[in-house]
Amino acid sequence: MKKKQFKAESKKLLDLMVNSIYTHKEIFLREIISNASDAEDKLRFRLLTDNSEQASEEQKEELFIRIAPDKEARTITITDNGIGMTAEELENNLGVIARSGSQLFKTENADNKDVDIIGQFGVGFYAAFMVSDKVTVVSKAYGSEEANCWESEGADGFTVSSCEKEGHGTEITLHIKADTDEVNYSQYLEPYTLSALVKKYSNYIRYPIKMMMPESRPVEGKEGEYETVETDTVLNSMLPIWKKSKSEITKEEYDSFYKDAFHDYEEPLKVIHTKTEGSATFDALLFIPSHAPFDYYTKDYEKGLRLYSKGVLITEKCGDLLPDYFNFVRGLVDSEDLSLNISREMLQHDHQLKLIAKTISKKIRTELLKLLKDDREAYEKFFTAFGASLKFGVYNNYGADKDELKDLIMFKSSKEEKFVTLEEYTSRMPEEQKAIYYAASESVEKAKMLPQVDAALSKGYEVLFFTEYMDEFAARMLMSYNDKTFVNICSGEADLESDAEKEENETENKSNEELFAAMKEALGDKVSAVRFTHKLGSHPSCLTNEGFLSAEMEKVLNSMPGNNGAKAELVLEINAEHPIAEKLKTLYAEDKDKLSDYAKLLYNEARLIGGMSIEDPVEFSTLICSLM
């Protein structure tokens, strides 16, 4: 019999299949089962549209897929009673790699990417050659009398000949390769391996996938003796939980599915189960965990959702389905629109995926807002675990997503030290308060010690405590909320003095210009100016930042690699109502050296209270000692 040749691109793909990396080999079963399931679908559809007597008889027959391994013969046979193929179809369908496949091979440098695509999307029937050195396909098309046999040993080509077969459908026999040093092909002949692969990839195929499973059981009448019997077993669960209607699923079922599928010991905080139809048709079952997984804040953590196409697992973690700021969401998406194999065009894939991702993202946001409104306690628990991700999301991407996220973020505030949303904060601001005030520090305790916070509180203002490194950056990205600007309580923009006090500042600062110039000289470029203020209550001094960078931002930026040298512009403010003010004036008149020491001491004290480190601790302690 004359061998027919594969098309050129198919040859190349075959080569790639055969040499594909080990971990991808197991998808061969998924690919063949998925084709069998399609063939059953096609037959079912055909029967629905056929009024003949034979068709109505056929409709009563069960559609199924059967897997039969044979260790001795080293074969696996996968049978379906679907639509089958004619000789012509065998030649056309199995002789040419899916058109899309050839499309892919035209792209340059495709080889590296392809390997990944094989793992994620597969290339259909050809996957059989990853584990087989020979593949035999016997098929009889529905309504035809004649069966045909297609056979191939890989890249050399294939033969098609007529043969015998009972009933319509397709029977694919894989002749499993001999084991090598690297690959244990024999494992695929083990019923337990095959059963596990079906559960992993094809659990939700809607037709029963059957196999004779060996089972050990006690021999009747003979104590202690066991025999192995084979039981015909359906390996897949067929109906996935997400295909059921919500009203049929109990909370316990959702919870146990989540714990099982996503390896969490705790129930999820929230379950989101949706069906979407329209430009993208898919089911999604999403979970918000009640705690961050142990590796969440490490670079090993990978975001993503499981992606199924018509119940067939495509990938365990599809990162493209979730934006980074929702990276904590676990769950799955099952789409009707994605083809299992490399689809017509990868681009279209992308488009569909993007559409699904966008819909999902919107849904998550809506559900989180609902949670915030309806179950504050749960939301705060959620925010404690994952809020950093949302705040980082506000800042990330040049603020592209800030409007989506601004209503989801919260901060602890001076009012009862509880979480407040920006909406809550701005809606309860006193009328004369012009800005949203925040204090950035490493902890709430330290923030509360800032003299400027005292000043704000005594005016009846609420202050947000920014204690995570991204907080101030997020606020700068937001700029404002409900038309109220974010202002660092330690910046010169914070309006903490009455008009009378401001006026007083102006005259006093003017009349003491020389004193301040002398102090500034002692401090060099550590500060841009020294001046009096009336906002400090009982505190002697504070540092106020003038430019864009705050002292806290300076700290964060300088702690990042390659980012050293950020410098906040600071002004040393002295409490005009504190006895130290008079002392400075006296020293200016009587002892300029001592004035210089005092300036340094006041500056360093202000640094300490402001949560900054002392630049020269030795000089500082010497100064204190000399005063003692």
Q: Which residues bind ligand ADP (CB under 6 A)?
A: 35-36, 39, 80, 82-85, 93-94, 98, 124-126, 170, 341
Tell me, rounded to whole angstroms, the distance of Cα 170 from its chain centroid.
41
Question: Which lies closer to ligand ADP via its Cβ, residue 33 or residue 285?
Answer: 33
Q: For ligand ADP, which residue has the nearest CB?
A: 124
Distance separating alpha carbons of residues 146 and 165, to the nearest angstrom: 8
- Closest distance between ligand ADP and the C-beta of residue 21, in Å? 20
Distance separating alpha carbons of residues 311 and 238, to the nearest angstrom: 9
Closest CA to 186 of 70, 275, 282: 70
> To which H or E segment does residue 316 belong?
strand 312-318
- Closest distance between ligand ADP and the C-beta of residue 34, in Å? 7
Distance separating alpha carbons of residues 189 and 254, to the nearest angstrom: 34
Question: Which lies closer to ligand ADP via its Cβ, residue 91 or residue 508?
Answer: 91
Question: Which lies closer to ligand ADP via its Cβ, residue 83 or residue 174?
Answer: 83
Question: Which lies closer to ligand ADP via its Cβ, residue 39 or residue 422?
Answer: 39
Specify burial of residue 270 (Cβ count, 10 A radius: 0-12, 13-18, 19+): buried
- Closest distance between ligand ADP and the C-beta of residue 90, in Å? 8
Distance separating alpha carbons of residues 106 and 12, to the nearest angstrom: 11
Question: Which lies closer to ligand ADP via its Cβ, residue 77 or residue 528?
Answer: 77
Residue 149 sits at φ, ψ, to 5 deg, of: -120, 125
Residue 20 sits at φ, ψ, to 5 deg, of: -65, 155
**Residue type, position 507, single letter:** T
- Closest distance between ligand ADP and the C-beta of residue 339, in Å? 7
**Residue type, position 15, single letter:** D
Question: Which lies closer to ligand ADP via its Cβ, residue 102 or residue 426?
Answer: 102
Question: Which lies closer to ligand ADP via its Cβ, residue 125 or residue 204?
Answer: 125
Q: What's 384-435 look like in SS3?
A: HHHHHHHHHHHHCHHHCCHHHHCCCCEEEECCCCCEEEHHHHHHCCCCCCCC
- Closest distance between ligand ADP and the C-beta of residue 95, in Å? 10
Work out whether strand 147-152 and strand 158-163 pair parallel, antiparallel, or are unpaired: antiparallel
Distance separating alpha carbons of residues 448 and 441, to the nearest angstrom: 9
Question: Which lies closer to ligand ADP via its Cβ, residue 86 or residue 203?
Answer: 86
- Closest distance between ligand ADP and the C-beta of residue 37, in Å? 9
- Closest distance between ligand ADP and the C-beta of residue 149, in Å? 14
Question: Which lies closer to ligand ADP via its Cβ, residue 83 or residue 408?
Answer: 83
- Closest distance between ligand ADP and the C-beta of residue 83, in Å? 6
Residue 376 sits at φ, ψ, to 5 deg, of: -60, -40
Provide the greatest CA pair distance for the chain. Answer: 119
- Closest distance between ligand ADP and the C-beta of residue 343, in Å? 8
